[in-house]
């Protein structure tokens, strides 16, 4: 039967040491709750990998820019006005404004969608242990998910040695009913 181990930390340094020690011990499924975003936590959890949200932004910007230019040029081609002196129907300079605005709009909206997706918001299926009201004010939390019986005590010792204020072992079945 798998279980979770929760550690509550009063100081950021203790949490960072616990994450580092757990990573060295081979634990990878670590979930962290913090009252404020800290780059130290992000660097340890994601191991220096860049955010995947940037690909959402690039995709949205490319789609928005090409869509904006297509909208303007096709509208001009379908409903041409009388153009004096042989000016082109699809002229780039006046369409740059619409292209830019659509690039920014769709890129920003796709960034928001990517952020919501990768942050798993809204957090409807959050682990029971991460729903501690202390994490929204002044404490940091760490949860290891799906541990075996032998890993539970080893992980609990690592968390205690790092300076946790509280360490709780929860069997997943009990956490779901409580």
At 33, is the secondary structure helix, strand, or coil?
strand
Asked whether the whole model's pTM tops 0.85, one would answer no
105-114 mean pLDDT: 98
pLDDT tens profile 156-165 = 999 999 999 9
Q: Which CATH architecture has domain 3-48+123-177?
A: 2-Layer Sandwich (3.30)
Secondary structure letter of residue 67 according to DSSP = H
Residue 63 pLDDT more than 80? yes
98-125 mean pLDDT: 93
Secondary structure letter of residue 81 according to DSSP = P
**How far apart are the C-alpha atoms of 98 and 59, rounded to whole Å?**
18
pLDDT tens profile 13-47 = 999 999 999 999 999 889 999 999 899 998 998 88
Going by C-alpha positions, the residue among 9, 69, 66, 64 that lies closest to residue 40 is: 9
What are the boundaries of each domain within the chain? 3-48+123-177, 53-118
Q: What percent of the chain has pLDDT over 70?
A: 94
């Amino acid at each position: 039967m798998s279980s979770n181990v929760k550690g509550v930390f009063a100081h950021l340094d203790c949490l960072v040491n616990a994450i580092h020690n757990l990573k060295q011990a081979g634990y990878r499924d670590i979930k962290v709750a913090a009252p404020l975003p800290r780059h130290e936590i992000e660097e340890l959890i994601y191991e220096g990998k860049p955010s995947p949200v940037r690909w959402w932004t690039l995709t949205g910007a490319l789609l928005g820019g090409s869509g904006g230019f297509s909208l303007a040029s096709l509208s001009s081609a379908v409903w041409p006005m009388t153009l004096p002196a042989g000016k082109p129907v699809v002229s780039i300079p006046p369409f740059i404004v619409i292209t830019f605005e659509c690039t920014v709009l769709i890129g920003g909206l796709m960034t928001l969608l990517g952020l919501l997706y990768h942050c798993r918001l809204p957090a409807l299926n959050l682990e029971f242990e991460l729903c501690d009201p202390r994490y929204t004010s002044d404490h940091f939390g760490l949860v290891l998910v799906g541990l075996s019986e032998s890993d539970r005590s080893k992980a609990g010792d690592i968390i205690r040695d790092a300076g946790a204020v509280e360490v709780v072992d929860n069997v997943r079945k009990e956490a779901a009913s409580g």
